[in-house]
Amino acid sequence: MAKSKYQLEFESLFSSELERHRELVTDALKVLLATEVPSDVKILLLECHSYWYAFPVSVFALDEKGEDEVCFKKPFSTRLVAKERKLIRERVITPDQLDQFEDKKVDTFKTAHIMIADWIASIWKENGGDKYPIAAYITAHDSPRYLDLRTREWVRKMKSLAS
Protein backbone atom coordinates (compact mmCIF):
# COMPACT_ATOMS: atom_id res chain seq x y z
CA MET A 1 0.00 0.00 0.00
CA ALA A 2 1.38 3.40 -0.95
CA LYS A 3 2.15 5.90 1.79
CA SER A 4 0.00 8.99 1.98
CA LYS A 5 1.49 12.39 1.20
CA TYR A 6 1.10 13.24 4.91
CA GLN A 7 3.08 10.14 5.92
CA LEU A 8 5.81 11.03 3.44
CA GLU A 9 5.88 14.64 4.61
CA PHE A 10 6.19 13.62 8.26
CA GLU A 11 8.94 11.13 7.44
CA SER A 12 10.87 13.76 5.50
CA LEU A 13 10.64 16.35 8.27
CA PHE A 14 11.44 13.81 10.99
CA SER A 15 14.40 12.40 9.05
CA SER A 16 15.98 15.83 8.74
CA GLU A 17 15.57 16.35 12.47
CA LEU A 18 17.14 12.97 13.25
CA GLU A 19 20.20 13.88 11.24
CA ARG A 20 20.87 16.83 13.56
CA HIS A 21 21.65 14.23 16.25
CA ARG A 22 23.96 12.02 14.17
CA GLU A 23 27.24 13.16 15.72
CA LEU A 24 25.97 12.86 19.30
CA VAL A 25 24.41 9.45 18.68
CA THR A 26 27.49 8.19 16.82
CA ASP A 27 29.75 9.31 19.67
CA ALA A 28 27.52 7.64 22.26
CA LEU A 29 27.38 4.38 20.30
CA LYS A 30 31.16 4.42 19.84
CA VAL A 31 31.56 4.65 23.62
CA LEU A 32 29.20 1.68 24.09
CA LEU A 33 30.97 -0.34 21.43
CA ALA A 34 34.42 0.41 22.90
CA THR A 35 33.56 -0.28 26.54
CA GLU A 36 34.23 -3.77 27.88
CA VAL A 37 30.94 -5.48 28.60
CA PRO A 38 30.61 -6.73 32.21
CA SER A 39 30.40 -10.54 32.32
CA ASP A 40 26.85 -10.60 33.74
CA VAL A 41 25.49 -8.47 30.88
CA LYS A 42 24.15 -10.68 28.10
CA ILE A 43 21.78 -8.35 26.22
CA LEU A 44 22.06 -4.64 25.50
CA LEU A 45 18.69 -2.95 25.08
CA LEU A 46 18.14 0.52 23.69
CA GLU A 47 14.63 1.71 24.52
CA CYS A 48 12.88 4.51 22.69
CA HIS A 49 10.50 6.60 24.79
CA SER A 50 7.54 8.70 23.75
CA TYR A 51 8.95 12.05 24.90
CA TRP A 52 10.57 14.38 22.38
CA TYR A 53 11.93 17.10 24.71
CA ALA A 54 15.31 15.30 24.52
CA PHE A 55 16.76 12.46 22.49
CA PRO A 56 14.37 9.70 23.63
CA VAL A 57 16.59 6.60 23.85
CA SER A 58 17.85 4.94 27.03
CA VAL A 59 20.36 2.12 27.46
CA PHE A 60 19.79 -0.97 29.61
CA ALA A 61 22.12 -3.89 30.33
CA LEU A 62 20.12 -7.09 30.82
CA ASP A 63 20.58 -10.66 31.93
CA GLU A 64 20.48 -13.67 29.59
CA LYS A 65 16.67 -13.80 29.60
CA GLY A 66 16.34 -10.08 28.91
CA GLU A 67 14.20 -9.68 32.01
CA ASP A 68 16.38 -8.02 34.61
CA GLU A 69 18.75 -5.10 34.50
CA VAL A 70 22.13 -6.26 35.80
CA CYS A 71 24.45 -3.28 35.37
CA PHE A 72 23.71 0.23 36.56
CA LYS A 73 26.91 1.96 35.44
CA LYS A 74 27.42 4.22 32.45
CA PRO A 75 27.43 3.63 29.53
CA PHE A 76 25.21 0.58 30.19
CA SER A 77 22.51 2.34 32.19
CA THR A 78 21.86 5.86 31.00
CA ARG A 79 20.22 8.01 28.38
CA LEU A 80 21.99 7.33 25.10
CA VAL A 81 22.51 11.06 24.52
CA ALA A 82 22.88 13.06 27.70
CA LYS A 83 22.93 16.49 26.05
CA GLU A 84 19.66 18.35 26.46
CA ARG A 85 18.50 18.89 22.90
CA LYS A 86 14.95 18.52 21.65
CA LEU A 87 14.42 15.62 19.30
CA ILE A 88 12.44 17.84 16.95
CA ARG A 89 12.44 21.60 16.90
CA GLU A 90 9.03 23.25 17.12
CA ARG A 91 9.91 25.55 14.24
CA VAL A 92 10.33 22.46 12.03
CA ILE A 93 7.34 20.43 13.24
CA THR A 94 4.97 22.47 15.40
CA PRO A 95 2.60 20.88 17.94
CA ASP A 96 -0.27 21.90 15.64
CA GLN A 97 1.41 20.11 12.73
CA LEU A 98 1.81 16.98 14.83
CA ASP A 99 -1.91 17.11 15.58
CA GLN A 100 -2.64 17.58 11.89
CA PHE A 101 -0.48 14.59 10.97
CA GLU A 102 -2.32 12.49 13.55
CA ASP A 103 -5.67 13.74 12.19
CA LYS A 104 -4.53 12.54 8.76
CA LYS A 105 -3.90 9.04 10.19
CA VAL A 106 -0.12 9.36 10.53
CA ASP A 107 0.92 7.46 13.67
CA THR A 108 3.73 9.86 14.52
CA PHE A 109 5.06 7.90 17.51
CA LYS A 110 5.13 4.56 15.70
CA THR A 111 6.67 6.14 12.61
CA ALA A 112 9.27 7.98 14.71
CA HIS A 113 10.13 4.82 16.65
CA ILE A 114 10.67 2.78 13.49
CA MET A 115 12.72 5.56 11.92
CA ILE A 116 14.86 5.99 15.05
CA ALA A 117 15.40 2.23 15.31
CA ASP A 118 16.44 1.86 11.68
CA TRP A 119 18.64 4.95 11.86
CA ILE A 120 20.40 3.79 15.04
CA ALA A 121 20.84 0.30 13.55
CA SER A 122 22.61 1.79 10.54
CA ILE A 123 24.91 3.91 12.74
CA TRP A 124 25.54 0.83 14.93
CA LYS A 125 26.63 -1.16 11.89
CA GLU A 126 28.72 1.69 10.44
CA ASN A 127 30.70 1.73 13.68
CA GLY A 128 31.38 -2.01 13.97
CA GLY A 129 28.30 -3.07 15.91
CA ASP A 130 28.15 -6.36 14.02
CA LYS A 131 31.25 -7.37 16.04
CA TYR A 132 29.70 -6.49 19.41
CA PRO A 133 30.22 -9.40 21.82
CA ILE A 134 26.61 -9.58 23.07
CA ALA A 135 23.15 -9.32 21.54
CA ALA A 136 21.83 -5.78 21.11
CA TYR A 137 18.31 -4.59 20.37
CA ILE A 138 16.25 -1.43 20.16
CA THR A 139 12.55 -1.22 20.99
CA ALA A 140 9.84 1.26 21.86
CA HIS A 141 8.86 1.43 25.52
CA ASP A 142 6.38 -1.38 26.28
CA SER A 143 6.52 -2.69 22.71
CA PRO A 144 6.40 -6.45 22.01
CA ARG A 145 8.83 -6.02 19.07
CA TYR A 146 12.58 -5.55 19.04
CA LEU A 147 14.95 -4.64 16.22
CA ASP A 148 18.03 -6.86 16.38
CA LEU A 149 20.89 -4.44 15.76
CA ARG A 150 23.11 -7.21 14.34
CA THR A 151 20.65 -8.68 11.82
CA ARG A 152 18.33 -5.67 11.47
CA GLU A 153 15.35 -8.00 11.76
CA TRP A 154 12.29 -7.28 13.88
CA VAL A 155 11.71 -10.03 16.45
CA ARG A 156 9.20 -10.72 19.20
CA LYS A 157 11.72 -12.05 21.70
CA MET A 158 15.23 -11.01 22.64
CA LYS A 159 17.86 -13.75 22.81
CA SER A 160 21.39 -13.60 24.10
CA LEU A 161 24.05 -14.81 21.70
CA ALA A 162 24.59 -17.77 24.04
CA SER A 163 20.93 -18.91 23.67
- Is the pTM higher than 0.85? yes
Burial label for 19, CB within 10 Å (0-12, 13-18, 19+), is: exposed
Q: What is the pLDDT of residues 113-126, one digit of tens each?
A: 999 999 999 999 99
What pLDDT was estimated at residue 2?
87
User: For 33-70, what is each residue's pLDDT tens digit?
Assistant: 999 999 999 999 999 998 888 899 999 999 999 999 99
Residue-wise pLDDT for 1-36, tens only, equals 789 999 999 999 999 999 999 999 999 999 999 999
Q: Which amino acid is at 144?
A: P
